[in-house]
Structure 1
Amino acid sequence: MSRRSWLLATLAVVPLAACTASGPTEPRPAAAPALKLVAFDSCAQLEKELRAAAEKSYVAPPPMPDNARALGADSARASEIGGEFSGTNVQEVGIDEPDIVKTDGRRIVTVSGGVLRVVDTVTRTQTGRLDLGLQAYGEPKVLVAGDHALVLADGGGRPMLREDSRIMRPFNGRSEVLLVDLTGGTPRLLSRYRGDGRVVDARQHGSVARVVISSSPDFPFPYGREPEPENVMQDERSFERAPLESWLPGWEVTTGGATAKGRLDCSAVSRPESFSGLSMLRVLSFDLNATALGDGDPVAVVADGDAVYSSADGLYIANNQGWRLTRADRAGVPDTTDIYRFSLPPAGRPIYVASGKVSGRLLNQYSMSEWDGHLRVATTSMTDDASAVRVLREKDGKLAEVGAVEGLGRGERIYSVRFIGPRGYVVTFRETDPLYSLDLADPSKPRVTGELKITGYSAHLQPVGENRLIGIGQEADTRGVPTGTQVSLFDVTDPAAPRRLDQHVVAGGSSEAESDPHAILWWPASNLLVLPVADAKSDGALALQITGDRLAQTTRLAPTAKDTGPMRRALVVGDVLWSVTDGGLLASNLSTLDQVAWVGLK
């Protein structure tokens, strides 16, 4: 997800009465009022309120660009730590996130170009491939547990224009979830779920994956190159004519040649106090140890969202209310974010427990973190470009604000956030990069303890040992113009005086790690940091050895084979560093970084 994806998905559920689908520099302003979910009384009420909300909220889309059909989804990448082999670089230890590559030490599983491949890490050979037969256009990602993989393919997020008319179905599609057997290194498709909407994100606890999907109403919207009055009237008639089922997403599950179809029942739908009627979020639960997929036991809410955060026992989804851009107010939207919390049982569907509202917008999933029973949330206000960190606590079904520190980087916006236990770190940027250090030990009195102003910015902050942070982003000149990829080593031992110990700059360079932390590998056993970097000379991996207070050794890794594509990820298995491209895997000696093998993908 890109840095602009102003956070989290939105989701919350309160059971509906049984029915069927047929029927610190400035004074702190008052906290945003707590938000609660309200159940629908009946399917008839659901249909009535969806129509009214959709008609009020809908804005005729802008003219479609000529290259609209070529627009694709953002991609994501991977890496993190675990014993003798690395995993994906995730926000919370033990909670996995989908990515384009996974390893369990015995094998490496990759997905690219609609094909899943398995590489044996001992023989360093590809043992099997599976053409996934995807209809969803988004880059697939994978989760792994035991001998099974779960592949997620995004099928929504862009307008679909019929060639023979000006009718379009906006922001929808069909996403896919596939269960694959990896036994013996030869992948085999067990089951396929295909359902309306786009994949927002997913989180895996143990063998259970929760997949968040957002869908739009399933009926055509008149679409004109200009928002002429007659087109707007036709838009509104579309809402009047559409049946309730148009808002309720459908799906089909195919296992062993047999296909079962279903549609979300209105009894599974809840709503916040206000909503657009133009989107529906649902959370699906899949056990990777199962032999087949079901319908995911969905729970749903009339809302939308951008990113997902999960703690050990909670799932948070937030909605920045961007849907509130109405015909009468094209200039702006409410500067608030709705947040919902779900508890996560060991198996089965999430359970809604609380919701709340904060001022401002979130950057991404790293803008939220749960610690000691409190949720810390970092936001930037769109009205004055000032940022804040707010602390929420669950009470009587509400996420109520108990403390806040405000006025961070006035005139700037947040570029990265990292919460580590009772501390927090926030980077804002316009021309220089203030790194703020925060003390969050007292939830009712969060405070800024230190500030470091340097050129450039960090788009991601990665912990690399006690009181050490790595910042990955762009160096910039004194006017704030980016000049190339930079990696900074920070000492945050003294909360009042964070220091930059060392910096490595690749002039003119760029890195996926700036927008996708999955692209980072931190291997603490040898203090090795690896990330993809592209510049005029190379499109490979940058490996940096952290020794004491220095980025002591820098090595550029690139395969000798041709047409391999850019470096996407790095993994460690035993004494081998694997660098992953779409065309193959480069195996290097972990100690010397010398190439030992190249495994071309077929």
Structure 2
Amino acid sequence: MRRLAAAVPLILALVAVDSAHAAPKAKPRLKAFSSCQSLVDYARQGALRTDGGVGVVGRAVPSPPVTIATPPLMPAPTSDTTVGGIVPPAPAAAPVSAEGGTEVGGTIPDFSGTNTQETDVDEPDVIKTDGRRIFTVTDGTLRVIDPSGVVTGTLALDGNEHRLLLRGNRVLVIANKGATPTSVPEGVAIAPTVAPLSSTTIVTEIDVSGAPKVSRTMEVPGRFVDARQNGAVARLVIDAVPQPIIPPEGESVDDAVDETTLGDFLGRTVLKSNLSGKTFRRNLAPCDAVTHPNQFSGLDVLAILTVDLDRGMYSLDRDGVMAGAQVVYGSAGSLYVASQRYVRALELGTDVPEGMRTEIHRFDVSDPTKTVYKASGSVPGFILNSYALSEFNGDLRVASTDVPPWQPGGTAVAPSSRVTVLRQDGAKLNQVGAVGGLGENERIYGVRFMGERGYVVTFRQVDPLYTLDLSDPTMPKVVGELKIPGYSAYLHPVGENLLLGVGRDGGNVKTSLFDVSNLAAPREVTNLQFPSSSTSVEAEPHAFLFWAPKKLVVMPLQSYSPPFTGAVGIHVEPNALSEVGRIVHHVDARPENAPVERSLVIGDKLYSLSYLGLSTTSVDTLAWQGYTVF
């Protein structure tokens, strides 16, 4: 059976060009296919160009190094130390004296949402709340939980790696299903990297006005990579990877390519409606809604499915592009895509090119009915994650690292980092300012942009925190530098001119409080370390909670010595960090303590989630109040 060459799945999605909205000053870098036949012709040419191999080779960005082994499971506590199925947290080191909000007269108390990069743009996660209900997904089950801890409804879900989006009485669950490496026979010309994945995305629309029930389910060819929600509109990013060409015995790759059809390049979605009882089958995107860059960028179709959550999944709009991509950043009115160019030398493994660049595409998302391509530009080097991009006053600030040292076979040129400011002019994102030389022979570990300021952490043996003045986008400049041991992988504002860094110093998790009131002289006010430990916050910002009314930080923590698995609460003062208490998830029927994945606040209660259940503690002291066992 013939199968088509594809790009290694990369993290992101692109959307279609609306040429009527493109400025006439410059030629758009994304071109729409005029017909299904033109799509097939283009894809066949790309398949021949890659000799049946992949179109774009990904350059993986490694996670920060972990210097300790995974902490062992804690011993099960004895029955006299277990309260209500959970171990009570350690007594608060310094209880906070503050009033918590409660529901009065039917009003909704204050509550925390998902920790997102932009306040106005929501992101999918494993737990959501509207202040009246808590929605969680663990072990393939959606649970609706009352703030009192009572489970009011459950629903078994298909797939794995579930994530939730919430709007009123509608929950959207996105999951991957069947992601397995595609087998490649010996002797087939495929790049020596990660084999393409064959995967399906399951999107489930659930009515939660009463007991949760499925309204519609859609199977989408491809792997779910991310989503962004602006108000009622959710945009789901799918990476659909065609299969590599494996010609039958006695047939050449060229012959197999000639026999390909539209179905080899563009999969079909299957939408089943429980409301009407009907099933709808459609192409992943209409052929004329699929685009491609001027420069070949592979054959995977990175699609964006737009859903109005006030209307339901039947109102879904779909667009796509044949190109590889890595990072997505969303603001209130824009979607920015950082993507890699096709590099033949990387695909064949024959050479490592000099001067690699990352292309960035801007799409307008201000119209809830569509997503419109606007402009493209590029920056030197590579981008760590979405926090390395930030839109402010119409300009895009980008932090990138040149010649990253983790590229096998790379040159001996010392890596360094920079911040570039891009501004749209017609169909181009032009550089209007840049500052380089950040962290010679180091790479970026953490970035945070806040208004006219930027903060960049690079690392090799010490942690240089660079402070940047971005008030003049044409003249960005580094105005301060602070070198301390270790590094911060995640940065979060915790007060006026106060920044909290979460990272590590050797084998210890380290939280650092930085005073950045004087950009020219940033200083570490204090730090709090946890010996022989790790935290998921380094790689997953959604695991971090900062509840500003109580100046409370909650984050997962695992340590080897002394052994601990759970979450820790930290009180932030202008000149001090102090541990409030710890939360441990344990039930008598299980021998282990479960890692805490997320935390949220409703009124005066702090809720924490693990695969064992949902705990309820005091937001002031972290004192145990109750536990819901899953």
Q: Which amino acid aligns with 1:120?
A: D
Q: Name the SS of the counterpart of 2:581 in structure 1.
A: strand
1:248 correspondence with 2:248: no
Secondary structure class of the residue paired with 1:88: coil
Q: Which residue of 1 aligns with 2:599?
A: 570
2 CA distance for matches of 1:247 and 1:508?
A: 49
CA distance in 1, matches of 2:485, 2:342: 32
Q: Could you state the TM-score of these two structures normalised by the residue count of structure 2? A: 0.81
Aligned to 2:546: 522
The separation in 2 between residues aligned to 1:584 and 1:520, in whole angstroms, is 18
Q: Which amino acid aligns with 1:313?
A: G
**Is 1:36–2:23 an aligned residue pair?**
no
Aligned counterpart, 1:25 = none
Change (3 A) 1:233 1:462: farther
Q: Which amino acid aligns with 2:341?
A: Q
Higher relative contact order (CA closer than 8 Å, sequence separation 6+): 2
Give per-residue Cα distances to partners, 1:344-372, cap 9 Å, x unaligned: 13421211111112111100000100001
What secondary structure does 1:183 align onto? Answer: coil
Among 463, 466, 487, the alignment partner of 2:511 is: 487
SS class of match (1:582): coil
Q: CA deviation at 1:157?
A: 5.8
Distance 2:153 2:165 in 1: 17
Which residue number corresponds to residue 140 of structure 2?
A: 114
Would the aligned equivalents of 1:155 and 1:199 in 2 still touch at CA under 8 Å? no
Does residue 366 in structure 1 map to residue 384 in structure 2?
no
Aligned to 1:496, the other structure's residue is in SS state coil
Equivalent positions of 1:18-57 (< 5 A) are 36-57=29-50
1:90-489 pair list within 5 angstroms? 90-121=116-147, 123-132=148-157, 134=158, 136=159, 138-155=160-177, 158-161=180-183, 170-184=196-210, 186-217=211-242, 219=243, 221-222=245-246, 237-256=255-274, 257-263=277-283, 264-290=285-311, 292-294=312-314, 296-321=316-341, 324=344, 325-327=346-348, 329=350, 331-332=352-353, 335-382=356-403, 384-476=414-506, 483-489=507-513
- Deviation of 1:377 after TM superposition, in Å, equals 0.6
**Cα distance in 2, alignment partners of residues 157 and 311 from structure 1:** 30
Q: Secondary structure at the match of 1:46?
A: helix
* The one of 8, 11, 14 aligned to 1:11: 14
SS in 2 for 1:551: strand
Q: Tell me which amino acid in the other structure corresponds to 2:16.
A: V
Contact 2:585/2:596 (8 A) holds in 1: no
- Does the 8 A contact of 2:433 with 2:476 survive in 1? yes
The AA in structure 1 aligned to 2:501 is G
The whole-number CA distance in structure 2 between the counterparts of 1:102 and 1:232 is 55
Q: Classify the secondary structure of the residue corresponding to 2:465.
A: strand
Q: How far is the alpha carbon of 1:386 from its aligned partner? A: 1.0
Conserved 8 A contact 1:201-1:307: no
Give yes or no for contact 1:321–1:333 (8 Å, CA) kept in 2: no
Letter in 1 for 2:38: Q
Instruction: Give the structure 1 partner of residue 67 of structure 2.
Output: none
- Name the CA shift for 1:237/1:93 in 2 (closer, same or farther; >3 Å): same
Contact 1:392-1:399 within 8 A present in 2 as well: yes
Task: Give the match's secondary structure for 1:172.
Answer: strand
Q: Distance in 2 between matches of 1:538 and 1:240?
A: 60
- Which residue identity lines up with residue 598 of structure 2 in the other structure? R
- The alpha-carbon deviation at position 415 of structure 1 amounts to 0.4
- Further displaced range: 306-315 or 494-503: 306-315
Relative to 1, partners in 2 of residues 1:206 and 1:8: Cα closer, same or farther, differing over 3 Å?
A: same
1:440 maps to amino acid: L
User: Aligned equivalents of 2:517 and 2:572: distance in 1?
Assistant: 17
Which letter maps to 2:320? A
| Per-residue CA distance 1:177-211 (angstroms, 9 max, x = gap) | 11111113x21111111111111211111111011
Matches within 5 A, 1:78-93: 84-93=110-119
Structure 2 counterpart SS, 1:469: strand
Q: How many corresponding residue pairs? A: 543
* Secondary structure of the corresponding residue to residue 312 of structure 1: coil
Preserved contact between residue 474 and residue 486 of structure 1 (Cα < 8 Å): yes
Structure 1 counterpart of 2:104: none
Q: How far apart in 2 are the matches of 1:333 and 1:260?
A: 48
Structure 1 range deviating more: 43-52 or 108-117: 43-52
2:616 to 570, 583, 587: 587
CA distance in 2, matches of 1:235, 1:144: 47
Distance in 2, Cα, partners of 1:46 & 1:589: 58
The equivalent of 1:538 in structure 2 is: 564
- How much has 1:304 moved relative to structure 2? 2.2
Gaps of 5+ in 2: 1-7, 21-25, 55-100, 102-107, 404-412
1:593 CA displacement: 1.2
Within the candidate set 556, 559, 562, 2:585 is matched to 559
Instruction: Give 1:14 deviation, angstroms.
Output: 2.3
Does residue 512 of structure 1 match 2:536? yes
Whether the aligned pair in 2 keeps the contact of 1:361 and 1:379 (CA below 8 Å) is yes
SS of match in other structure, 2:310 = coil
| Rounded Cα–Cα distance in structure 1 between residues aligned with 2:254 and 2:179 | 22
**CA apart distance, 1:534:** 0.7
Deviation of 1:237 after TM superposition, in Å, equals 4.8
Question: 1:431, CA displacement in angstroms?
Answer: 0.9
What is the aligned partner in structure 1 of residue 74 from structure 2? none
Following superposition, the deviation at residue 167 of structure 1 comes to 13
Give the drift of 1:239. 3.1
Q: Distance in 2 between matches of 1:511 and 1:307?
A: 23
Residue identity opposite 1:216 in structure 2:
V
| Mapped partners of 1:281, 1:491: distance in 2 | 42
Shift of 1:44: 3.3
Residues 113, 139 of structure 1: 8 Å contact kept: no
Q: Does the 8 Å contact 1:36/1:356 carry over to 2? A: no
Residue 201 of structure 1 contacts residue 212 of structure 1 at CA under 8 Å; is this kept in 2? yes
Secondary structure of 1:55's partner? helix
Q: How far apart are 1:328 and its partner, in Å? A: 6.0
Residues in 1 aligned to 2:267 and 2:30: alpha-carbon distance in whole angstroms: 21
- Partner deviation per Cα, 1:518-573 (whole Å, 9 max, x = no partner): 00000010100000011121110011001221002342211352436211011101
* Superposition map of 1:63-74 within 5 A: none
Other structure's SS at 1:289 match: coil
Deviation at 1:331, TM superposition (A): 3.7
Distance 1:289 1:449 in 2: 46
Give the TM-score normalised by the residue count of structure 1.
0.84
3-state SS in 1 of match to 2:143 = strand
